[in-house]
Structure 1
Amino acid sequence: MRRLNLRETRGRHLKLVCLMAVLSLLIAACAGGTDADDADSAEGTTEEADGGDGSDGSDGGDSDGGEGSGEDAEGEDGGGEDGGEGSGEDGAGEDGGGEDASDGEDSAAGGGTFRMAVPTVVSNIDPGVYEGTPSTELEIAWAGPLYEFADPEDVTDDTLGTTGLDSVQPLLVESDEEEDDGSLVITLREATSPYGNTLTSEDVAWTMQRVLANDFVGQFVLSVGRIDAENPIEVIDERTFRVNVTEPNPYVRAVLTLWNLSPLDSVEVQSHATDEDEWASEWLSSNTATYGPYNVTTFSPGESITMETNPGWPGDAPAYGEVLMQQVPDASSRLQLLQRGEVEYAAGLQPEQFASVEGSEEVDTTTRVGNTMVMLELNHAFEPFQDQQVRQAIAHAIDREAIVSGPMQGFADVLANQLPSGLEQPDPPEPYTYDPERARELLAEAGYAEGLEFPLTINLTRPGPYAEQIAVLLESQLADVGITAEIETIASNSEFEERKTEGQLTAWLGANTPIVPEAWYFMQLEHHSTEAFQNFKGYANEEFDALLGELRDLPVGDERDAAITEAHEFLMEDVPYVPIFNSQLLVATSSSVDAGSLRQYSPFGPLVREATPS
């Protein structure tokens, strides 16, 4: 086993952060921040490429967002309380929302307006511009990707939200066939954009070229699927094309589920291009041109988005003809708007707020399994944390049940394994148990019978406002086994991210969400010694890197499952960080809407096209 000095890896990580500007898991979504209640959350974060996200107390993503972020491209909220002028405390009231906004009366397309109070509205709706969690949570509403994730066939009420490579289904694809070299021949469904143009193979080819020229998140995700950057799409006929890959791998369909890879109406978009702006970035910053279920009709950056149905959408017609997304940074205000019936959906409610409306007459609620892991991150440059037994001791010292039932109000799943429970995976290894006596034994064996001390740093954006309550419980639980953890709160999210990426934190609460919900992707993004965007803890193990390399391109099936299990068992023994819980997706709608109809997978927002009146 070899441990790299964190200083040796820090320069590489910082280069990656700069290069990935918006990446870090998934780009999951995608790390796990909460809503934009932190005024610093848009200051250039570095967490999700996975993700982002993070969205449920997340994320991303994992991949935090914001312009110039790099840790999980699925990550943080790019907004903040000062993110949208004019959104106000009851932001759904004036600009197209609130009581003046159609109040559920039938409107042009499918009948009625679906009003959404969200923490942050993006400042740019170009699919090639990534702004963290707001991009992953909002833009899926009008996107029309080639494929989408679906609930597994054997899904139960307890596993709703779980998904993976086995659960990808066609969306704008009529049929596909995988060739011997791993390339995918796709035939498109018949679809029409809001501008009257028919979906063609040329649209797909042009969109891919635009992604490769402008969208670093898209470029990265295409590389996960080994899609050939030199010749990604080969047009066969008007509706048939080949997705070229450099090597066979199981991720091609999965990466084509991303919102930012949705085919664009290339005829319409190119009509707005200029010599100085060949990809029509200026026009796309405030207009949409997908073949998805909705089209943006009004966009006020950082304030609101209004959409109407696309009559050329080939899927089932949405029940709501109009959708209004209004920025309301304060979670309490979003809850009040929902309770007063002034919005149909409130995003980003905190556990105690969600608990307060469960079973009420005004609000319908449901939960789904999320992919956001909340963990105690351990900087491996700190000498005690270089000892595997110390890390194992901490894993056994934590009473996860107390944290889930306390700060999380039961709206999380105990996580005592090294993979988020929302990822499809083989049966996990035996979990870490809460065993203070075993923790003390391990510390003594490691030479710390008299205990050890370290600062425990928290930020109220990641994993969320409940971070302080979690930290207080951790402080007490660790003290019980002889470990003194002194809580340090960094109010500024940007300062927290900067100190983390520069290796200045010893231990901290983290939250990450993969944008591609798959076990290898998560482990690679988190723990690979040279290729992990989220490995700010400095974990490095050549044996584990080799396991990831062997697992990467194995086809879905028994051999891949066995390799996932082997890698997972390795992590359980080596404890690169200490998992605590897996966040749940908290879905809250007005009683006029069936909350269960809003299908959602971390780090993305709900599929509004499926919202159904109750």
Structure 2
Amino acid sequence: MKIKLTYWIVALGLLAGCFHDNRSAVEIGNERQILHIGNGSEPSDIDPHITTGVPENHIQLALFEGLVSKSSATLDIVPGVAESWLVSDDGLRYTFHLRKDARWSNGDALVAEDFVWSWYRALLPSLGNQYAYAFFGIKNAERFNKGEITDFNLVGVKALDNHTLAVELVRPVPYFLELLDHHSMDPVHRATIEKFGAPGDRGTAWTKPENFVGNGPFMMKEWVPNKVVAVKKNTFYWDEQSVKLQEVHFYPIDKAATEERMFRAGQLHIIRQLPTDKIAHYQTNHPEVYRFYPNFTTYFYRFNTRRPPLDDRRVRQALAYAIDRQQIVERVTRGGQPAARSFIPPMQTGYRSSASMPEDIERARELLVEAGYPDGKNFPTLTILYNTDEDHQKIALVIQQMWKKALNIQVKLENQEWKVFFASQRTGNYDIVRGSWSGDFYDPKNFMDVFRPDNGNNRTGWANAEYEALIQQAEQTSNQAERFALFQQAEAILLADAPIMPIYTYTSNALVAESVQEWHNNIMDYWSYKHVYLDSGATSAARKP
């Protein structure tokens, strides 16, 4: 660990241009408006139409802008590329008026047809966009994505002129504006993508820094795999005068302890998750840099229902019933996380889960007997898969021990780097896998959609006709109380069938240097780098233990 930490500090010094400067990267960054952020894992890609991970989204928020954006202070919808919009009385037609000064990072004008083509690409069946379902409220979008029609002119999105975009829905979608801020609906530069392949090709060279064209407040500067992704100010951005940062550097550091040491050494302005054994120290001794707040994210395990014995509901239930969630959050995560016995986190809009996952070891043992594995006899050895991270490993170890003690079964643990881990999930190459789901918009439907049979984020192989029917019924009503009641019924089915095992609801335990201004805590971990700036007169991030 010491060798790796030294490597990162030297690397950061070089990247900041301060190898012969006694000041830290943070101090020089404050002076030059260069923000240094710990970003967890190495991003799998930055193409907004194919990624699903949080590390990727952190970078995409700097590089792309949709029709609308969010205020990181309030999470209210604010204008993005569209400076205004009109909604019909029946809620089925949206008309967006685009900014005449909107530009791509190469200087090209950004026009309404760019959104039409981008959404065509995002919905191409060949691209395999796992968030394609986000578009399904748009007329004929689902039919196009599923190959039932091939003429995109039939889809309800039209460029009326260069600066007017019309969208027609099949039903009112109360959260439609929030969806438009999701990365899957971001515009992409057609000429650049087609230069390096077909629209439906994944992983082409268009995202390399030397080729990249985006429309956000920043543009790609450098991507050194497993070291740094650096973005720089986009001088063609329509609101360029509001952007104070010159650069943002994202570092793929998957060990929380390493991030914390780098923060303390003045090499990072922000780390998003403290090691559990450091939380009390910062709470007590350095509250000026410590940030704690709830998060709209659930940590859970997926069960691969295509693989025996996990194709047996009784086995899945036994595993889910035999863990002690409270012990996990009190003794392992220790970050103020609430234990989760349902999938949807508590919401301030009035939704509350009506069902919960039981914790009942005796019933779990009975279920294993019913499934043909009395006292764990002849139960095959399963593997828990998780992406490389100390906290994920600790949780897996405790669950391994709980299952051994309660059910007398053996499980193995396996960790994989982020890209490989993501590919294993996509291809179903796992038994049990760590998962998390962060709300993309503040509505229970965002969580319920995940486990629909055609959703690319399902990844469990589970499908339930009654569950699907309830969600479809909820889509047809605008009455909030009725919608919530239907989602409660659907969530109860999900918990009873147990293709997943909820474990806890996330909290954020972050460190933010005092020099960082306009970095707002919010439940969705949404930050607009556009408004962030660094106060060179503030106290350094460097801290002594």
Pairwise TM-score range, normalised by the shorter structure: 0.7 to 0.9
Give the direction of change, closer, same or farther, for the CA distance of 1:334–1:588 in structure 2 (3 Å limit): same
Match of 2:384 in 1: 458
Mapping 1:53-68, distance limit 5 Å:
none
Select the residue among 15, 21, 24 that pairs with 1:95. 15
Deviation of 1:565 after TM superposition, in Å, equals 1.4
Select the residue among 187, 198, 212 that pairs with 2:97. 187
Match of 2:80 in 1: 171
Deviation of 1:317 after TM superposition, in Å, equals 2.2
Q: Alignment partner of 1:402: what SS?
A: helix
Relative to the length of structure 1, the TM-score reads 0.67
Select the residue among 275, 287, 292 that pairs with 2:216. 292
CA contact (8 A) 1:460 1:491 kept: yes
Give the direction of change, closer, same or farther, for the CA distance of 1:588–1:611 in structure 2 (3 Å limit): farther
Give the direction of change, closer, same or farther, for the CA distance of 1:233–1:416 in structure 2 (3 Å limit): same
Task: Please state which structure has a larger fraction of its residues in helix.
Answer: 2
Match of 2:541 in 1: none
Match of 2:532 in 1: 611
Match of 1:52 in 2: none
Match of 1:53 in 2: none
Alpha-carbon separation, structure 1, partners of 2:246 and 2:308: 59
| Residue 239 in structure 1 maps to residue 163 in structure 2 | yes
| Residue 510 in structure 1 maps to residue 422 in structure 2 | no
CA contact (8 A) 1:250 1:553 kept: no
Alpha-carbon separation, structure 2, partners of 1:308 and 1:275: 24
Amino acid at match of 2:132: F
CA contact (8 A) 1:146 1:171 kept: yes
Give the direction of change, closer, same or farther, for the CA distance of 1:197–1:490 in structure 2 (3 Å limit): closer
Q: Alignment partner of 2:250: what SS?
A: strand
CA contact (8 A) 1:344 1:593 kept: yes
Match of 2:36 in 1: 115
Deviation of 1:458 after TM superposition, in Å, equals 2.4
CA contact (8 A) 1:191 1:198 kept: yes
- Post-superposition CA distance 1:544-603 (Å, at most 9, x none): 23223323454362221121112122333333332111223343222322585255736x
Alpha-carbon separation, structure 2, partners of 1:249 and 1:276: 36
- Post-superposition CA distance 1:490-536 (Å, at most 9, x none): 24458877777777755x2421325744533433432x3x4243555
Deviation of 1:403 after TM superposition, in Å, equals 0.2
| Residue 147 in structure 1 maps to residue 68 in structure 2 | yes
CA contact (8 A) 2:291 2:521 kept: no
Give the direction of change, closer, same or farther, for the CA distance of 1:254–1:541 in structure 2 (3 Å limit): same
Match of 1:579 in 2: 502
Give the direction of change, closer, same or farther, for the CA distance of 1:314–1:501 in structure 2 (3 Å limit): closer
Give the direction of change, closer, same or farther, for the CA distance of 1:313–1:352 in structure 2 (3 Å limit): farther
| Residue 486 in structure 1 maps to residue 410 in structure 2 | yes
Mapping 1:246-261, distance limit 5 Å:
246=170, 248-250=172-174, 252-261=176-185
Give the direction of change, closer, same or farther, for the CA distance of 1:393–1:458 in structure 2 (3 Å limit): closer
Alpha-carbon separation, structure 2, partners of 1:534 and 1:276: 27
Percent identity of equivalent pairs: 20
Give the direction of change, closer, same or farther, for the CA distance of 1:422–1:171 in structure 2 (3 Å limit): farther
CA contact (8 A) 1:87 1:328 kept: no
CA contact (8 A) 1:460 1:466 kept: no
| Residue 224 in structure 1 maps to residue 144 in structure 2 | no
CA contact (8 A) 1:289 1:295 kept: yes
Deviation of 1:378 after TM superposition, in Å, equals 3.9
Alpha-carbon separation, structure 2, partners of 1:125 and 1:380: 30
Match of 2:115 in 1: 204
- Post-superposition CA distance 1:140-189 (Å, at most 9, x none): 12321112356797xxxxxxxxx8xxx65543333323344723211235
Alpha-carbon separation, structure 1, partners of 2:242 and 2:271: 23
Q: Which runs of 5+ in 2 are unaligned?
A: 19-23, 145-151, 539-545
CA contact (8 A) 1:373 1:581 kept: yes
Q: Alignment partner of 2:14: what SS?
A: coil
- Post-superposition CA distance 1:297-343 (Å, at most 9, x none): x2234233131264754499245343233455654443222112222
Give the direction of change, closer, same or farther, for the CA distance of 1:362–1:282 in structure 2 (3 Å limit): same
Give the direction of change, closer, same or farther, for the CA distance of 1:168–1:441 in structure 2 (3 Å limit): farther
Q: Alignment partner of 1:373: what SS?
A: strand
Q: How many residue pairs are counted as aligned between the two chains? A: 503
Mapping 1:205-604, distance limit 5 Å:
205-209=116-120, 211=122, 216-217=128-129, 220-221=132-133, 223-226=135-138, 228=141, 230-231=152-153, 232-246=156-170, 248-250=172-174, 252-263=176-187, 270=191, 285-286=208-209, 289-296=213-220, 298-302=221-225, 303-308=228-233, 310=235, 312-314=237-239, 317-328=242-253, 331-347=256-272, 349-352=274-277, 357-361=282-286, 364-380=289-305, 391-421=316-346, 426-432=351-357, 434-436=359-361, 439=364, 450=375, 453=379, 455-461=381-387, 464-479=389-404, 481=406, 483-492=407-416, 508-513=432-437, 516-517=440-441, 518-526=443-451, 528=452, 530-555=453-478, 557-593=480-516, 597=520, 599=522, 601=524
Amino acid at match of 1:523: M
Deviation of 1:479 after TM superposition, in Å, equals 5.0
RMSD in angstroms over aligned alpha carbons?
A: 4.4
Alpha-carbon separation, structure 2, partners of 1:192 and 1:500: 38
Give the direction of change, closer, same or farther, for the CA distance of 1:491–1:325 in structure 2 (3 Å limit): closer
Amino acid at match of 2:16: G
Alpha-carbon separation, structure 1, partners of 2:456 and 2:108: 39
Give the direction of change, closer, same or farther, for the CA distance of 1:473–1:275 in structure 2 (3 Å limit): closer
Alpha-carbon separation, structure 1, partners of 2:113 and 2:300: 44
